[in-house]
Copies of this chain bind each other. A is one copy, B any other.
Amino acid sequence: MATTYFSKRNLQFLLHDVFKAEELTQYDYFSAHDRETFNLVLDSATYIADTLMHPYLKEIDRNQPELKNGRVTVHPKIKEFLKAMGDAGLIGAGFSFDHGGQQLPEMVNSLVGFILMAANNGMMYAGLSSGAAHLITSFGNPELNAFYVPNMLGGTWQGTMALTEPQAGSSLSDVTTSATPLPDGTYKIKGQKVFISAGDHDAADNIVHLMLARIDGAPKGTKGISLFVVPKYRPASDSPSGFVDNDVVSTGVYHKMGQKGVPAMHLTMGSNDNTIGYLVGEPHHGLPYMFQMMNEARIGVGMTAAAIATAAYYEALQYAKERPQSRRLNEKNLLDAPQTPIINHPDVRRMLLFQKAVTEGALALLVQVAKLYDLSHVLEGEEKENAFLLLDLLMPVAKSYPSEMGVQSVSQSLQTFGGYGFTEDFPVEQLYRDIRITPIYEGTTGIQAQDLLGRKMTTKGGKAPQLLFAEMSRTIAEASAYDDLKPYADQLSAELKRTQDVVMSLMPYAIKGDTERYLSDATLFLELFGIIVVAWQWLKQAIVARRALLTQNPQGDDLAFFEGKIHTMKFFFHYEVPKTLGLATRLKDPEVLTIVTEKELAL
């Protein structure tokens, strides 16, 4: 039986009621749009998701890509999907009209990703193409733009991000793929890349790698890495087809625990000394270019995690409504009574509310961050800088909270099914496998934590957290006007204070330059910070819901929706927020325990 895999109503609520996407259309860049065009794009994504993606969720998982005779074969639906995405203008949704895009805000564009990933996260091809194309439109010359971008946005050529190497995973400064200048201004590329998602497959006519490499003689470390376009087939006027093979060899395809629909490739460049790369932008600027794209990519991973967890939640909810098991706890002795659906057991309702609180809270945070992303592009002067600072501060949380809590949420979805959840009879075991990569993609949780505490909290004298706390204080003040929300506003206020105390207790280590000590529990700080930021998002949603209940006299589904929002906000504050007590206790604790010998660990 078909289940829902996301709530359209919730997307409308977040996009329009809470975050007022339409406000963006007052800026020139977005002025061609209105509420209608935003909704049309989401409907168009939903149509593709419903017809070309969700029906193939299991099938794509069960038929993983295989490398045969040097080429990777993927499920035939993927070609159809990519073409439909290209035709609907969805791969280029976030690109400017100049680049053949729809010039839509990231708020809308990232929700397109959410819908698609909720339907079938094994079909993540389009997002990769759009990310790669965005590097070209942002930093590439007109020739690269003209030749590659239309095919990538059209869905016939696949784009990839080719960063990771066997010896350089989280540490991009250790990239060793080499680029040797040729007289015609192109470069000979030699090296290996691993874990390149969609790095080769037969659903695209060409694969366009946006690849990091080191030009011969470049400075060491992060300042010597350049960005190249390295296609699978490169243009060649002397070839009848107009293309020649570019010596990018598919050395292997990783077999993964999840996200099996998309091949993760091991690629070897230059084994026949015949791989050509085309420099994007200036030499040695590869890492800064990549980092400018990082926020977009991390919103994408956060959305993927939120989407998978949302799909799993709706599966669990459906099952809980239909599966009879045992009697209600207050009616244990009524043996003649029929068994009750498990949704009537308080422990099951607690598990479901946990899933709802985590997934909708994560999604709200992501829409918040996407709005900041948009504002940071259209605003000017100090307002622009402030939007950037807030965006950068929230980004590690918006990537990690959905991922880490999403893993836990899907685990509770699986648990709701009992033994059936562990079988391939239901899709939840697949979603459990799929989501596990999200705390690793695009910077592990540990890396995000170091970014948050080691960089974002402290740059410009801590201006970003000041801005955030001011924003949160505005929400707190607004919520305090409603009697039933005031206790939660007060609670969030106390949590802000607690977080500030934690930061103050850690600062001395940063000041004396003991980074290892300062960051040793950074991951716990990220967890704490995630809870209060998502609590803030819940309070924002509750204010809008409370206002609607007071002014719109909603009935039926509307009434239930708004009451459900307020209820889930309360659940988050009563069940999730108290976790900060333990985290803050540990974070303020002076005892260092991460110094230990290998032997002590091993014996």
Q: Which residue numbers of A lie inside 8 Å of B, CB to CB?
A: 7, 9-10, 164, 167-171, 173-174, 194-195, 220-221, 254-258, 264, 317, 321, 324-326, 328-330, 332, 335-336, 339, 343, 345-353, 356, 407, 411, 414-415, 418-419, 421-425, 429, 432-433, 436-437, 439-440, 444-446, 449-450, 513-517, 519-523, 557, 560-561, 563-564, 567-568, 570-571, 574-575, 578-583, 585-586, 589, 591, 593-603
| Residues in B whose Cβ lies below 8 Å from that of A557 | 599, 603
Q: How many copies does the complex hold?
A: 2
Considering the chains assembled together, what is the distance between the CA atoms of A520 and B350 in angstroms? Answer: 8
Asked whether B601 lies within 8 Å of A325 as measured between CB atoms, the reply is no
| Residues in B whose Cβ lies below 8 Å from that of A332 | 515
| Residues in B whose Cβ lies below 8 Å from that of A9 | 603
Give 3 closest A-B pairs by Cβ, nearest first. A564-B600, A578-B582, A581-B581
A424 touching B567 in the complex, CB below 8 Å, given contacts A516-B329, A601-B356, A603-B561: no
Which residue of chain B has the shortest Cβ distance to A334 in the bound complex? Answer: B221
Which residue of chain B has the shortest Cβ distance to A603 in the bound complex? Answer: B561
Which residue of chain B has the shortest Cβ distance to A420 in the bound complex? Answer: B169
Asked whether A326 lies within 8 Å of B519 as measured between CB atoms, the reply is no
Asked whether A330 lies within 8 Å of B257 as measured between CB atoms, the reply is no
Considering the chains assembled together, what is the distance between the CA atoms of A589 and B571 in angstroms? Answer: 12
Which residue of chain B has the shortest Cβ distance to A252 in the bound complex? Answer: B425
Asked whether B440 lies within 8 Å of A256 as measured between CB atoms, the reply is no
Residue in B321, B347, B424, B449 whose beta carbon sits within 8 Å of that of A598 in the complex: B321
Considering the chains assembled together, what is the distance between the CA atoms of A593 and B354 in angstroms? Answer: 11
Question: Contacts A321-B598, A561-B600, A578-B585 given; 17 further ones with Cβ under 8 A?
Answer: A10-B603, A169-B419, A171-B339, A220-B335, A254-B425, A257-B422, A347-B522, A353-B596, A353-B601, A422-B440, A564-B603, A567-B600, A570-B591, A571-B593, A574-B586, A575-B593, A580-B582
Considering the chains assembled together, what is the distance between the CA atoms of A415 and B173 in angstroms? Answer: 21
Asked whether B567 lies within 8 Å of A593 as measured between CB atoms, the reply is yes
| Residues in B whose Cβ lies below 8 Å from that of A595 | 346, 349
